[in-house]
Amino acid sequence: MFRTRLISGIVLVIIALAVIITGGNVLLGTMAAISIIGMYELYRVFGIERSIAGFVGYIACFIYYADLLWKFLPDHMILPIVFLIIMLGVYVLTYPKYKADQIMAGFFGLFYVAIMLSFLYQTRMLERGAYLVWLIFLCSWGCDTCAYCVGVLFGKHKMAPVLSPKKSVEGAVGGVVGAMLFTVLYCYIFRGQMDLAQSEVYILAFVSGIGALISMVGDLAASAIKRNYDIKDYGKLIPGHGGILDRFDSVIITAPIVYFLASNLL
C-alpha cells in the first residue's frame, strides 16, 4: 500500500509540475477536467452524479471555465445565481424526485469544487503567478506533511477527537509553522526571479501561515462529509490516495485564500 501511494504520489507531483509550469490553456483545461471529476465524486455521495441535477452542474462548470478563458459574462456572480435558479427549477418541476439536500449539494458542488479550485489557475495567471502558485501547495501539502511529522513526535492534545482522533494541536501548530518556514526558504531561493523586497518575503510567509491554517479546515471538512455518509474515499482515481477530493481537499480551500491575499498584499 505504501509503495503504491508513493509511486502515485510521485506521478501526481510530476504531472502537477508539468501542467502548472506550462500554465495557460493547458492548466485551465486540466483544472476544468479535475473540477468535473471532483464534482462527480461529490455528487455520487448524494446520489445525483448521473441525474439531471448533476448534468446541470457539469454544464455550469464547463461554462464557468469557458468564461475564464473568453470572459463573455459581464460578472462572475451571474453564473452561480442562474445555476441556483435552474437547480431550484429542476427541484420544483421534477418534485418529488430530489430531496432538498441533493439540490443544495448540487449547488455546493459547483461552488466548492469548480469555482474554488479555479483559483489555482487564476493565481498562476497573476503577474508573478508562475512562482506564487506554488504557495498553494506549500501551505496545503506542506502543512499536511509538517503537521503529520510534528504530531507523531510531539502530539498530545487532540484537535478534533471525534472527527479525526490522530490530529493534534501540536501537529496543527507544526503544520502552520512548517508551511511558513518552507515559504521563507522558497522565497529566498527564488527571490531574484520574483523580484521580492525583504518585507514581501514576510508577507508571503504570513499568507502561507493563514493558508495552512485554513487548509486544515478544508481537510477536516472533507473528512466530516465522508463520515456523515459513511464512505472511506471519494473515489479511486489516484491509487493509494483515493479520488480528486481526497487529494485536493486542502488545495481547494487554500487556492482562493492565497489568490486574494497575495494579489492584494503584494
Q: Give the per-residue pLDDT at 1.
A: 56
Q: One digit per residue, pLDDT tens: the chain, 266 residues?
A: 557 766 777 888 899 899 999 999 999 999 999 999 999 999 999 999 999 999 999 999 999 999 999 999 999 899 999 999 999 999 999 999 999 999 999 999 999 999 999 999 999 999 999 999 999 999 998 898 899 899 988 988 898 888 888 899 999 999 999 999 999 999 999 999 999 999 999 999 999 999 999 999 999 999 999 999 999 899 888 877 789 999 899 999 999 999 999 999 98
* 253 Cβ contact partners less than 8 Å away, ≥ 6 residues apart: 116, 214, 215, 217, 218, 221
* Grid cell digits, residue 212: 495552512
Q: Give the per-residue pLDDT at 26.
A: 97
Q: How far apart are CA 266 and CA 262, in angstroms?
A: 6
Q: Are 204 and 183 in contact (CB under 8 A)?
A: yes
Q: Give the per-residue pLDDT at 227.
A: 92
Annotated domain spans of the chain: 1-125, 127-266
Q: Are 67 and 79 in contact (CB under 8 A)?
A: yes
- Encoded amino acid at 29, one letter: G
Q: Are 86 and 53 in contact (CB under 8 A)?
A: no
3-class state of residue 11 by DSSP: helix
Q: Are 21 and 76 in contact (CB under 8 A)?
A: no
Q: Are 160 and 235 in contact (CB under 8 A)?
A: no
Q: How far apart are CA 136 and CA 145, in angstroms?
A: 14
Q: Are 87 and 56 in contact (CB under 8 A)?
A: yes
Q: Which of 217, 207, 161, 198 is nearest to 180 (CA)?
A: 207
Q: Give the per-residue pLDDT at 155.
A: 85
Q: How far apart are CA 168 and CA 154, in angstroms?
A: 9
Tally Cβ neighbours within 10 Å of residue 127.
9
Q: Give the per-residue pLDDT at 166.
A: 85
DSSP code of 160?
A: E
Q: Give the per-residue pLDDT at 239.
A: 79
Helix (H) or strand (E) holding 168: strand 164-168
Q: Are 57 and 39 in contact (CB under 8 A)?
A: yes
Position of cell 420544483?
A: 92
Compute CA distances 104 → 39, 57, 61, 112, 154, whole Å: 13, 11, 16, 12, 41
* 150 Cβ contact partners less than 8 Å away, ≥ 6 residues apart: 170, 171, 173, 174, 175, 178
